[in-house]
Structure 1
Amino acid sequence: MDARLLCFCLAASSALLWPRLPAWPWALLPLVMLLALLTMSGRWRGGVAALCLGLLWMQGSLLLRLGWLDELPAGHAVTIEGTLLRQERAEPDFTRLLLRLDRLGTQQRWPAPLIQISAYRPLPEWPTGSHLILSVALKPAHGLANQAGWDGRRSLLGKGILATGSLRAVMAVTPAPSHWRDRWLEAAERAWQGLATAPLLRALVFGEQGGISREQWDLLRGAGLTHVIAISGQHIAIATERALIMVLLWSLLRQLRRDWPGWRIWLWAFAALVLWDPWALWSAGFWLSFLAVALLLVAGLIWGRPNLWRIQWLMMLGLLPLQLMLFEGVAPLALLLNLLLLPLFALIIIPCGLVAGLLAPLGGAGLLFWLADALLGHVMQLLAWLDAGARLWWPLPAEGALLCIPLLLAFTAWRLPGGRWLLLPSVGLMGLALWPSPERVEISVLDVGQGLSVVISKGERAMIFDTGDRYPGGYNMADAVVLPRLRQRGVRIIDTLIVSHKDRDHAGNRAALLTALPVRRELSSHPFGPLTHPCMAGQTWRWSGVEVAVLWPPQGGWRGPSARNNNSCVLRLAGAGWSLLLPGDIEAPAERELVRRHGAGLASTVLVSAHHGSRTSSTPAFVTAVSPDLVIHSAGFQNRWRFPRPEVVARVEAAGARQWVTGVVGEVRLTAGDKGLDIRVEREHGPWYRRSGAWWKPALWLE
């Protein structure tokens, strides 16, 4: 039984690695035929049959759940009807709605998918379960795609969210009767009103995490305590589907008086959750929780009855590779802080909060909430003090997991009886992880949504041209994209930071980069501070074998129309067999002047289009003078300005150049070689759900 369950789970999990979503009948039919042959031969209970069932379940489920995305009208509003599941107010003028989609246009949807709608306007508080009719602009689930940083699309799919959009109009609302939980929460909020840690209490008791600040999340992450906040409130909140399935499975085994080994229960739980919710496989929490339970089972095999210290050590080591791959960082003090603080949470803070939550509608909860608030306040003060002195969270590139895995294998080989044979592959893997790679200049045009950031790096040094955007809610491209990319490349020093001009989508993270890493020199067309040097035409320098020249603005600046955009720094980089032109946000007047001054001297192998492909830039004369082989438009996916504009795309196509949009294809990496540039596009590689274009559409395996 265990082998068959393992085969089913492995086959289902392989969906994370499929290069394409297989189409019927080319992929499904052979599996059905094989399963029929196994049934006819009496071998339908074997491992091969379990593999076929796992593949069939995932293929059929994904095709059924994703097919409706073909009906979304790109760039146009559509009327939807849905049931409100959650409403989060991040700011006074920004609300996020989670809906179960019941009807798209006139079509009923089954199974009803989840969609996430962003409203950039004040909205009233609607009760959970309300029926909404909205006009929205919808697009398939999308996220930034860079070699380093957070995978937004995978995160959305892990929550079962298949499409996102923006609210155009509220057409009708049928409020649901006030839910008993909503009334309970209102009573609790009256009881903890004015307490400093009220957002944390709201999360601990009711599982509502929207009010927790980014700074608080960072401290909890560095202490390894995010799991406490993430699961505690579910004790009296509406039970989640995954937790409910686990409880039902355990209760069934107890009722049947089955004394199953831990591994069998683990495999049954895994299979049951995948059958109920296939999107669980894309959830980081799913893998962290199941791996944590597996490590507890391993601890029992190694030590029999392990003490808490050994379990914590094994948990930290065992979860480290997955943590690095998912979150690109480690919390070195998490082990010690968990040993010190978990008893405080488990014995006092959480029980006080839960009992107070139960008493809230009856009154008398204030004292218990006050005690929990006082202890939580001291905990957060302690974490802030430790973070100021020792940095609780240490960012590390995901590639560190390649070194952690052989170390973990070596530890397992040393402790398990008869496991010494694992030492040989672990040593081999460690050698591959530590094998030095040749240092080459690499240019990354990052996927930063609607904005621009280009990283030119070699070894531990880098130049950066623009920094991407920073948003009012705290989300920013420094933490999400730029800094993870620098860490992944091992960059320790920024030799030159060039901020082309003042616009936020180019300069939004300037201060963050100046704080995060040593910056030897800063150039900009805007005088941000006393240490900012003006960029002016005629400046040149050599960096790691690359010739860098500033072509614009002229000395004294451009004083014509659209001065801020047209004063953008324009750089040209040239190496052996390649050249790159970075024109910032210049528009037609500056382009005409550049053509007049430099003419054929503008010619470059690669052009990052001016102003993200705006119709006010990329004039015919400028494109002809640059004569690029490749044009990269740094623009957001289905952005509201429709960048790059169709006329610009047509103009570049007529010039015979290839062109990519970062919002569509993700990060574009250009590696300097002996014969020019080697080009790698992020969404041309990896599994099906990270691909560009209609990633949800089934295709032949080799297409």
Structure 2
Amino acid sequence: MDLRLLCFALGASSSLLWPWLPSLAWGGALLALAILLACGRCWRLLFLLLGVLWMQLNLQYRLVWLDSLEAQTTHMITARVQSTEPQGEKFVRLLLHLDTLDGQAVTPNPLIRLNAYQALPSLPAGSTITLVTSLKPAHGLANEAGMDGRRLLLGRGITATGNLRRVVAIDEVPMGWRERWLGEAEAAWLGLSQAPLLAALTFGEPGGITDAQWELFRGSGLTHIIAISGQHIALVAVLGWWLGRLFGLRGAILVSLLFAATYSALAGFAVATERALIMVAVWSLLRWRKRDWPSHRVWLWAFVVLCLWDPFALYSAGFWLSFLAVALLLLASHLAAKPGLVRLQILLLLGLLPLQLLLFEGMAPLALLLNLLALPLFCIGIIPLALIGVLVAPLSTALAHGLFWLSSWGLDWVMWGLDLLASHLQLWWPVPGWLMPASLLLILLWGSWRLQGGRYLLLPVGASLLLAAWPAPSPWQLRVLDVGQGLAVLITRGERGILYDTGDRYPGGYNMADAAILPVLNRLGIRVLDALVISHKDKDHAGNRRAILQALPVRREISSFPFTRDTQLCKRGQQWRWQGLVFAVLWPERPGAGHNNDGCVLQISDGHSRILLSADIEKEAERRLLALEKAEGHEGALANPLSSTLANTLLVSPHHGSRTSSTPGFVAAVNPQFVVHSAGFMNQWQFPRPEVVARYAGAQQWVTGQDGAILVEADGAGLRILAERERGPWYRRAGAWWRPVFWRDEP
């Protein structure tokens, strides 16, 4: 049975690696094969195949409705409120179960997330609302580093996102018991310094926690304590077990399950709590049936039940971190009868390190020490006091306030200690990309040495480490990063870099510096920028200028707009050499006010190919550029584009592909072989415009919102270009990634 469960889990988990989503034709072939395997009693292969089939059918069923979103971006919807997540004074995120889309019923009532940049009335869970929204399939940035937005959304069960345009109607339901209970608790902790943290610990309401506090928790490795997770559910279940022992074994099981279910309900049945509740239910059922199963079998059953209940759970980082942590604890009990707390923490730290580096691209070196100090404080004092305060809040506000005060006092000391550490030490360490595979190889090397029968792995693992450390030449590279509706271009050679523009910054704190630029710089090991070029002052180009300047040293700043006295003004005729490349400024003629037509147009050449970064210039600047070409002795440029200084191998299109740019004369003068449009996915301006795409019909074109970041590097006497969404699993692919295909090359 254990091997069959393991095979089902492996088959289901394989969906994370599928290069495309299989069609029903594949499903029919696999089903026929499953029947043959059942007839032949090949149970392990059968369960492996059943895991694959389960994920294939579920993913198709849950994603097929996204086809309705391709024709247009604005929709009238009716939905039921699951939760509201305030992100600021006039910024709320709504989680909704969709009932109708443009008057048509939607099955299976998918979960969507909307951003509302306006003040909204109170929306109790279960309220029905009718809205005008922009809606598009779940999407995220696609860069070689940074959070995988699509996987993150799918892991929460969210299949589409959008913005609220207009509220048409609200049908409120009476406030539910959870909201009333939360109101009683809020009245009890009113005025306490750590009230937002108490709301997060007890009700899973993290909206009041600031970005700075989240940074502290991430750097200290305590995020899993603050955000309600399996650890909290397990703690509540243990408390219920102790109380229930008064009524015997079955009474303890019932009370334990009741406590866990109640706490999950208080947390709004968030994804993480729902999964933990299922694990507690599996354990409780086995104990009820008096099954004396080994721990690893319970672990496998919980894994399989979660896959059956919520297939999207496999796409959640929390799912893998929690299950791997439990697996490591089981391994520790196998290696030693009674492993000490320090040994357990070391095993968890090292065992989870490769996965943490893969998912979060950084590490918290003090996490082991801080967890050893904080876990007892939270598990014995802060969390139990807060939970008891929640229980008594409807009965006695004064008693609940006293309990919350004690819990808040403990949190005050924790935050004071973390602030003190953060003021003297860097708690979170971003790491270069090579450290994740290196850490995995080192763990394999240690395992090969320690585990019986693993010595034969020493040679290949050691050889892999040697090859990874062998020095190799560093060619120049250019990346047009995927920063949504904006622009950021990174030019690198080895650990040296120049950044051209910085993308946008949004209400609520989300910004392209943290989401895309800094993760890529960390992945490449770039600690200093030789130059920061800001084409002009528009927010989608300069929105993260200060963030970049604060995050790492910048040797010089160049812009067409004088941000500070130290800003070197961009002007036509400037040239400089850098790492074997020649940079030439083609525009503006003189620094301006920072508008579109003042943008700093930069040409980069390696002697064989030329790349033109054209900012947001529009037709007036393009015409003037053509006139300057003619006036400066390039009269034959229009007849022979190769003689023009505007002729380039690759062009990053002006103004994201707007119809106000890319005039026919400019396109003919540049005559690019390759064009990259830096534009957001299904953006409201429909950039790049179809007529602009048609003007570049002779060139190969990419759109960062569709194709992800574009990597450009020298390939002999030409350029080699790779789009980020040309590789990776099905949910990272370009185009209609949710649409099943029979062959890999189908649209």
> Which residue of 607, 618, 641 corresponds with 2:651?
607
The worse-fitting range, judged by mean Cα deviation, of 469-478 and 232-241 is: 232-241
Q: Secondary structure at the match of 1:117?
A: strand
Distance in 1 separating the partners of 2:316 and 2:404: 32
Tell me how far 1:176 sits from its aligned partner: 1.8
Distance in 1 separating the partners of 2:628 and 2:356: 52
Tell me how far 1:262 sits from its aligned partner: 1.6
Distance in 2 separating the partners of 1:351 and 1:432: 51
The worse-fitting range, judged by mean Cα deviation, of 68-77 and 485-494 is: 68-77
For residue 33 of structure 2, what is the aligned residue in structure 1? Answer: 34
Tell me how far 1:207 sits from its aligned partner: 1.1
The worse-fitting range, judged by mean Cα deviation, of 53-62 and 592-601 is: 592-601
1:669 partner amino acid: L
Structure 2 contact 433–524 (Cα < 8 Å) conserved: no
Q: Secondary structure at the match of 1:115?
A: strand
The worse-fitting range, judged by mean Cα deviation, of 350-359 and 286-295 is: 350-359
For residue 360 of structure 1, what is the aligned residue in structure 2? Answer: 393
For residue 741 of structure 2, what is the aligned residue in structure 1? Answer: 699
For residue 642 of structure 1, what is the aligned residue in structure 2? Answer: 686
Tell me how far 1:478 sits from its aligned partner: 0.9
Distance in 1 separating the partners of 2:584 and 2:74: 45
1:382 partner amino acid: G
Root-mean-square deviation (CA, aligned residues, Å) is 1.6
Q: Secondary structure at the match of 2:227?
A: helix
Structure 1 contact 631–657 (Cα < 8 Å) conserved: yes
For residue 564 of structure 1, what is the aligned residue in structure 2? Answer: 595
**Is residue 2:466 matched to residue 1:435?**
no
Tell me how far 1:305 sits from its aligned partner: 1.5
Distance in 2 separating the partners of 1:220 and 1:290: 21
- The superposition leaves residues 328-356 of structure 1 with CA deviations (integer Å, 9 ceiling, x where unpaired) of 00000000011111111111111111111
- The superposition leaves residues 348-394 of structure 1 with CA deviations (integer Å, 9 ceiling, x where unpaired) of 11111111111222212112212221221221121122112111100
Tell me how far 1:59 sits from its aligned partner: 0.9
**Is residue 2:722 matched to residue 1:680?**
yes
Query: What pairs up with 1:389-404 in 2 under 5 angstroms?
Result: 389-404=424-439
- The superposition leaves residues 556-614 of structure 1 with CA deviations (integer Å, 9 ceiling, x where unpaired) of x358xxx6211111110001421100111111111111111125111000111111111
Distance in 1 separating the partners of 2:714 and 2:469: 23
> Which residue of 124, 146, 149 corresponds with 1:149?
146
2:190 partner amino acid: Q
Q: Secondary structure at the match of 1:169?
A: strand
2:539 partner amino acid: R
Structure 2 contact 98–112 (Cα < 8 Å) conserved: yes
For residue 261 of structure 1, what is the aligned residue in structure 2? Answer: 294
1:591 partner amino acid: E
Tell me how far 1:6 sits from its aligned partner: 1.1
Query: What pairs up with 1:132-171 in 2 under 5 angstroms?
Result: 132-171=129-168
Distance in 1 separating the partners of 2:432 and 2:314: 23
For residue 632 of structure 1, what is the aligned residue in structure 2? Answer: 676
Structure 1 contact 148–397 (Cα < 8 Å) conserved: no
Structure 1 contact 413–423 (Cα < 8 Å) conserved: yes
For residue 457 of structure 1, what is the aligned residue in structure 2? Answer: 492
Query: What pairs up with 1:316-335 in 2 under 5 angstroms?
Result: 316-335=349-368
Tell me how far 1:673 sits from its aligned partner: 2.9
Query: What pairs up with 1:34-433 in 2 under 5 angstroms?
Result: 34-41=33-40, 43=41, 46-231=43-228, 235=236, 236-238=263-265, 239=269, 240-362=273-395, 363=397, 364-433=399-468
Distance in 1 separating the partners of 2:48 and 2:357: 30
Query: What pairs up with 1:568-587 in 2 under 5 angstroms?
Result: 568-587=599-618
2:112 partner amino acid: I
Give the TM-score, by structure 1 length.
0.96
Q: Secondary structure at the match of 1:649?
A: helix
**Is residue 2:9 matched to residue 1:3?**
no
2:178 partner amino acid: R
Q: Secondary structure at the match of 2:483?
A: coil
Tell me how far 1:237 sits from its aligned partner: 4.1
Q: Secondary structure at the match of 1:162?
A: strand
1:541 partner amino acid: W
Tell me how far 1:260 sits from its aligned partner: 1.4
**Is residue 2:526 matched to residue 1:491?**
yes
Distance in 2 separating the partners of 1:330 and 1:213: 21
The worse-fitting range, judged by mean Cα deviation, of 472-481 and 67-76 is: 67-76
The worse-fitting range, judged by mean Cα deviation, of 422-431 and 206-215 is: 422-431
Distance in 1 separating the partners of 2:667 and 2:683: 23
Q: Secondary structure at the match of 2:392?
A: helix
Q: Secondary structure at the match of 1:601?
A: coil
Distance in 1 separating the partners of 2:2 and 2:264: 34
Structure 1 contact 448–481 (Cα < 8 Å) conserved: yes
Distance in 1 separating the partners of 2:179 and 2:307: 30
- The superposition leaves residues 440-489 of structure 1 with CA deviations (integer Å, 9 ceiling, x where unpaired) of 10100000011100000011111111111122311111111111111111
Q: Secondary structure at the match of 1:231?
A: coil
- The superposition leaves residues 216-259 of structure 1 with CA deviations (integer Å, 9 ceiling, x where unpaired) of 00100111100011226665241543122212211111122211
For residue 669 of structure 1, what is the aligned residue in structure 2? Answer: 711
1:686 partner amino acid: G
2:15 partner amino acid: A
For residue 254 of structure 2, what is the aligned residue in structure 1? Answer: none
1:685 partner amino acid: R
Distance in 2 separating the partners of 1:73 and 1:410: 49
**Is residue 2:661 matched to residue 1:617?**
yes
**Is residue 2:551 matched to residue 1:520?**
no
Structure 2 contact 264–274 (Cα < 8 Å) conserved: no
Unaligned runs of 5+ in 1: none
Distance in 2 separating the partners of 1:642 and 1:57: 37
1:79 partner amino acid: M
Tell me how far 1:411 sits from its aligned partner: 2.2
Distance in 1 separating the partners of 2:592 and 2:419: 47
- The superposition leaves residues 426-452 of structure 1 with CA deviations (integer Å, 9 ceiling, x where unpaired) of 323323432333201010000001110
1:5 partner amino acid: L
1:377 partner amino acid: D
Unaligned runs of 5+ in 2: 237-262, 630-636, 638-643
- The superposition leaves residues 592-646 of structure 1 with CA deviations (integer Å, 9 ceiling, x where unpaired) of 1111112511100011111111121111111111111111111111112221122
2:713 partner amino acid: T
Distance in 1 separating the partners of 2:625 and 2:589: 10
Structure 1 contact 402–433 (Cα < 8 Å) conserved: no
Distance in 1 separating the partners of 2:744 and 2:532: 43
Distance in 1 separating the partners of 2:444 and 2:294: 24
Tell me how far 1:131 sits from its aligned partner: 1.6
For residue 255 of structure 2, what is the aligned residue in structure 1? Answer: none
Give the TM-score, by structure 2 length.
0.91
The number of residue pairs the alignment matches comes to 694
Q: Secondary structure at the match of 1:210?
A: helix
Tell me how far 1:73 sits from its aligned partner: 4.7
